[in-house]
Amino acid sequence: MPKVSSSRLLFFTMLIFVLALAACGNDDSTSEEATTDESETATEESADDSETATEESAETEPKVTEFEPAFPEQTRAPKVETETELNVEVVAEGLDVSWGMEEFDTNRLLVTQRDSAELLILNLEDGSVSDPIEGTPEVNNEDQGGLLDVTIAPDFDESRLVFMTFSEDKDDGTLTAVGKGVLSEDETSLEDFEVIFEAEPAYDGTLHYGGRIIFDEDGNLFLTTGERSDDPIRERAQDLDAYLGKVIHITQDGEPVDSNPFIEDEDALDGIYSYGHRNIQGVDFNPETGDLWIVEFGPQAGDELNIIEPGSNYGWPTVSYGIEYSGELINDGISEHEAQGFVEPVYYWDPTSAPSGMSFYDSDAIPEWENNLFIGGLAPNYIVRVVIEDDMIVGEERLLTDEGQRFRDILVTEDGALVAATDGGMIYKVTAAGE
């Protein structure tokens, strides 16, 4: 990596030189920036100029921070546009916040309702919604809490095992919990529901639960958590004796997976897979590489897309490409991750995209979307599509921008339909027109 740093240094040095030359013949453009450091201003402008001259970014709003990316592809990727004509259909409406979805049978989804804590079955073909399934857990549904994600065991056809995450009340606060139950043959109840994992410690707050779950190819679960938001509890994202702000790797019984990176470390919790995360709201495996990708909420800006490496530290809240909601710097405003010994995000957003549930498009139904990543945006309200080459983001698009919906979760069906759930109770289905 020193190689990258020195070439980048050379690049910026040249950039500043060229810019300084350009600024000489351009008096009025920088006058309102007079109080800021001149070389910084010059660098920023030159970067902007060179980008807009050649390719337009999908992001049109100004940055809210002064931070520069560690490498050019790390933010504000060139705008791309889907050429396939799309059919956008509202399959269902009038639901609660549909936080998680899973296709358990062709074109039939299990859908969680965050606030009412109901688990429903949605038929994508006729839009019908079942009565709530009995036997779901008690949850704390204040603020960001409730019934969160849902997935099915790899052997669901035989075991009928359904796994869910939720925010659970404990004596000393709340925490993110995982439970499992058996879906009855008549699909009306979850039987023998039991909690298999609790992301301790509990905390007296109702924010940042994380809560996504996904099975790996060995039949073990990855669970994501949040760092519970407040200062100082959020510092626990850096601690290996707390399950806050982590990616966690457990068996179907909630036990740490034998190969976990800290299993030999007596001071670390055995379930931890990676750490230094803020609030991970989306997770999926990249179908091309098999790598686990996650998206996590930043503070004000600094939302991150990360590729998860076992045992690695992703930096929060020591470093961030975002700032406090108050506008203050976080920890003196260090953005660069790698220089501080942390993993750089593969991509970040400034201003925010408020990234929630995500899914890779692992279908060829819309060929130009194959292996692209789709991420729900809560505020601003759109679906983000990113195009990836060699683990770099080379294009970004915003979809369904006119719908005015907070997109909470994204799912790609076996048939290649893109399904999006919103906080406003809608379920959208996006397919190629004419299909």
Cβ-contact 317, 234 below 8 angstroms = yes
Query: Which neighbouring-strand residues pair with 226?
Result: 279
CB of 320 to Ca ion, least distance (A): 6
Residue 261 or 425: which CB sits closer to Ca ion? 261
Query: Following DSSP, what letter does each residue of 170-235 receive, concatenated?
Result: ETTEEEEEEEEEEE-TTSSBEEEEEEEEEEEEEES--S-----EEE-TTS-EEEE-B--SSTTGGG
DSSP helix/strand/coil, 331 = coil
CB 352 within 8 A of CB 375: no
User: What is the distance between the alpha carbons of residues 341 and 337, in angstroms, rounded to a whole number?
Assistant: 6
Taking the complex as a whole, the smallest distance from the CB of residue 150 to Ca ion amounts, in Å, to 27
Report the run of H or E that residue 349 belongs to, with start and end.
Answer: strand 347-349
Give the residue with the Cβ less far from Ca ion, 111 or 295.
Answer: 295
Strand partners, 283: 294
How far apart (Å, rounded) are the C-alpha atoms in residues 199 and 411? 25
Quick one: 272 or 417, whose CB is closer to Ca ion?
Answer: 272
Would you say 141 or 352 has its CB closer to Ca ion?
352
CB under 8 Å to 259, separation ≥6 — which residues? none
Spatial distance between the Cα atoms of 192 and 137, rounded to a whole number of angstroms: 11
- C-alpha 372/C-alpha 375 separation (Å) is 10
Site map 295..314 versus Ca ion, x via CB under 5 A? ---------x---------x
> Number of H helices and number of E strands within the chain?
3, 23
Give me the residues paired with residue 387 across strands: 395
Note whether 315 binds Ca ion by CB under 5 A: yes
For Ca ion, give the closer residue by CB, 156 or 321. 321
Q: How many CB atoms lie within 10 A of CB 209?
A: 31
Least distance between Ca ion and beta carbon 206 (Å): 24
Instruction: Work out the angle at residue 49's Cα, subtended by the Cα atoms of residues 76 and 392, and round it to the nearest 5 degrees.
Output: 30
Q: Are strands 355-360 and 347-349 parallel, antiparallel or unpaired?
A: unpaired
Report the residue closest to Ca ion, judged by CB. 315
Minimum distance from residue 337 beta carbon to Ca ion (Å):
6
Element (H, E) at 161: strand 161-170
Q: Catalytic annotation on 277?
A: no
C-beta closer to Ca ion: residue 234 or 406? 234
Nearer to Ca ion, 254 or 315 (CB): 315
Q: How far is the CB of 208 from Ca ion (least distance, A)?
A: 15
> Is residue 349 involved in binding Ca ion (CB under 5 A)?
no
Residue among 102 and 304 whose Cβ is closer to Ca ion: 304
Catalytic residue among 208, 249, 277, 337: 208
Task: Determine if 347 is a binding residue for Ca ion (CB under 5 A).
Answer: no
Helix (H/G/I), strand (E/B), else coil: 380: coil
3-state secondary structure of 54: helix
- The nearest distance, CB 401 to Ca ion, in angstroms, is 27
Chain-centroid distance of CA 419 in Å reads 16
Q: Which is nearer to Ca ion, 313 or 381 (CB)?
A: 313
Shortest Å distance, C-beta 344 to Ca ion: 8
Q: How many residues form the binding site for Ca ion (CB under 5 A)?
A: 3
Minimal distance, residue 345 CB to Ca ion, in Å: 5
What's the closest the beta carbon of residue 307 comes to Ca ion, in angstroms?
A: 12
Cβ partners under 8 Å of residue 299, min gap 6 = 278, 320, 322, 323, 324, 325, 330
Give the interface with Ca ion as residue ranges (CB under 5 A). 304, 314-315
Residues catalogued as catalytic: 208
